[in-house]
Chains A and B, each alone.
Chain A
């Protein structure tokens, strides 16, 4: 065989990692102690040694990795697709059959990772050998490729034919069994590296990722020693526990998961608010979540509206209006920043303004200074001050208010499958 001297410079990093891992599995499978049991397989009139069945592989994988049959079938299927194992009975069908079908391990010489990338020269020699051996044995697509190669590397064609002849001569001197094995191995290699048109190409990597590693070295200087405290990741457990009942994938959702039941008839009805767009989440669920955090309340459109109604009753709606106006600047068009900042100043910050917001003097001074040269983040400090004001004061009071409690009760009432709760939770 020709020795492939092409450098591995263009090798895809991702594929290399996968190949190495698959090779580890293959090596483990062939371990004399813990590996699979091999046997001789009959192929027509020849006996092929060191073969195993699809069923053997699956059983071994299930035991080794403690996985289910479906996953073992999938993994062994990948090993076949990538050419580490090839079928003896139907060589062109790179599929793993979970029965007594015989398979063999590919020799490392023919691992795709060993001979990467597959060279045109080698492919030409392979096709030439097939052609010489049995005239017309080439398949249609192979004939086409053969003639394309003939044109493209015409200058080395003498070498190709000479090599092909030489390899055929050498193989004739081998025992029949060895010869068949070698032919199978070579064929398996090319089925993967030059797949039939229309066949699944496992070596399709997608786009190249040009790895433009910078030549600059980042020097880490002036690291101030900082205090470490022992780390106990309790917050994640708490958060997940709080939200678990509201996780539709985990706990199901009321009245049903629409993707499973195909039911969009359920529309949200919350007292005086009716949404026209069918929404899937049960309002009980949502209204409850408003009580988990201020962010949950503000991030939900209905929550924000309800909160605004409450604030209006308390004569502190200007805070939420201010906050919304600041959000609008932060995330809005650059061209309207100046205009919006002026609006905010007029409506919320001028002394005696109709909707004056109570910001501490330090923040107010800083903001007023910043307004002279308005930019996207000029309201950040004031916005944060008002946000925390609402969070610490208005928000907890809202959750204790009759407004919220009535809403929650109504939501429970409106939930069809919650009717059984009615007896326990009488509407006020």
Chain B
């Protein structure tokens, strides 16, 4: 039996005669009441249900490819649907398209700004989108002619009032979803550059987003510096669910493969799993010995493993069901800034401040 969703929150401007403390007390009282109600029920924790599941053996994953060529910190990367090409962007403004299998560089573009924090591959494999400190998201069609100057065909799509933190194509090359340091997310029509929908609700920089793999394909989740992860309806622009359990900035959010949950990684050194239908956090992935923040997370194909790239240069692999850490991987010589599992689940790629990308399998 499903629990009905809490309807949209009404927002009001603070009345001049109401004090901030009064309102805060009221909201705290309500929160406590909700928690008391929850505690009365006999919820079963995820790791309890997973007790009967077989444990995972030793995992030996190694770096199988190292991609060298960026001259500065690698900030973002994305896989092409062909499962071997990768686009990556770095602090020095360079965006490179690689054939990760052969480690050859296929295209390179120099952006007019530094700190290109977001990049994404188009579903068709024929274009890439990127942006950063220029506050824009631009689309570059990839030409088969290696000599062609990609920068000439650049198309400016999104315009924000602060840095672009993440971007993603929706199901086609024609739409892009962006998140920004200006606290908003936005959906754009690539061809015209028109703003289709904007999403307001975060109280601080939005750092990450991920599109839901659901049947109706209409929602996405975003995480920000306000410690909140928000789920949005793309059609109406409304925030339909919100989760605030992290203790610091949320750097990365990623949907569980079935679309019923999502994971988040934060500067508070934990990863967390949120169940969308139950509307709550269901697992925390943390260890006393893990001190540094998580910069990016992604699931293995079955959703059983969660990979986290950390600011202490390591990758921790978590058993999603049991909540335990399965493995820790070393190799990078500086922060891991981005991590994505390949579309067919055979490997994952990490980008780091040590200027390299690595493919692990």
User: Could you tell me which A residues sit within 8 Å of B by CB distance?
Assistant: 13-14, 17-18, 21-22, 25, 61, 65, 67-68, 70-71, 74-75, 78, 200, 204, 206-207, 209-214, 216-224, 226-237, 239-244, 246-250, 253, 257-260, 264, 277, 279-281, 294-295, 299, 327-328, 330-335, 376-377, 380, 384, 387
Contacts and interface: CB of A to CB of B under 8 A. Distances in A.
Given A228-B38, A233-B49, A333 B174 contact: yes
Nearest to B170: A331
B32 interface: no
Nearest to B65: A259
Contacts of A330: 171, 217
Q: Which 3 A-B pairs have the closest CB atoms?
A: A243-B302, A247-B302, A331-B172
B321 interface: yes
Contacts of A242: 302
Contacts of A75: 289, 291
Contact of B64 (A212, A214, A259, A277): A259
9 contacts: A14-B248, A74-B313, A220-B30, A221-B12, A236-B303, A239-B303, A240-B321, A259-B359, A335-B191
A218 B311 CA distance: 33
Contact of A247 (B53, B181, B217, B304): B304
Contacts of A249: 61, 300-301, 305, 341, 345-348, 361
A264 B101 contact: yes
B172 A244 contact: no
A17 B268 contact: yes
Interface residues of B, number: 113
A13 B248 contact: yes
Given A243-B257, A332-B174, A219 B23 contact: yes
Contact of A259 (B189, B203, B256, B346): B346
Interface string B192-227: 101010000001110100000111110000000110
B270 to A, nearest CB: 11
Interface stretch (B104-112, B134-142, B143-151, B280-288): B280-288
Nearest to A224: B7
A229 B38 CA distance: 9
B171 A244 contact: no
A384 B215 CA distance: 9
B278 interface: yes
B71 to A, nearest CB: 15
Q: Is the interface of B mostly helix, strand, loop or mixed?
A: loop
Contacts of A226: 3-6
B334 interface: yes
B183 A218 contact: no
B1 interface: yes
A236 B320 contact: yes
Given A220-B10, A226-B3, 20 more contacts: A13-B248, A13-B267, A17-B268, A75-B291, A207-B117, A219-B23, A220-B9, A221-B9, A240-B320, A241-B53, A248-B344, A259-B101, A259-B359, A280-B83, A299-B213, A331-B171, A331-B172, A333-B190, A333-B192, A334-B191
Nearest to A233: B46
Nearest to B282: A233
Nearest to A281: B344
A78 B312 contact: yes
Interface in B274-331: 275, 278, 280, 282, 287-289, 291-293, 300-305, 311-314, 320-321, 328, 330
A141 to B, nearest CB: 21
A231 B43 contact: yes
A269 to B, nearest CB: 17
A17 B162 contact: no
B225 A211 contact: yes
Interface string B51-63: 0010010000100
A9 B43 CA distance: 42
B260 A235 contact: yes
A295 B259 CA distance: 11
A280 B344 contact: yes
Contacts of A217: 14, 20, 23-24
Interface string B335-349: 000000100111110
B125 to A, nearest CB: 10
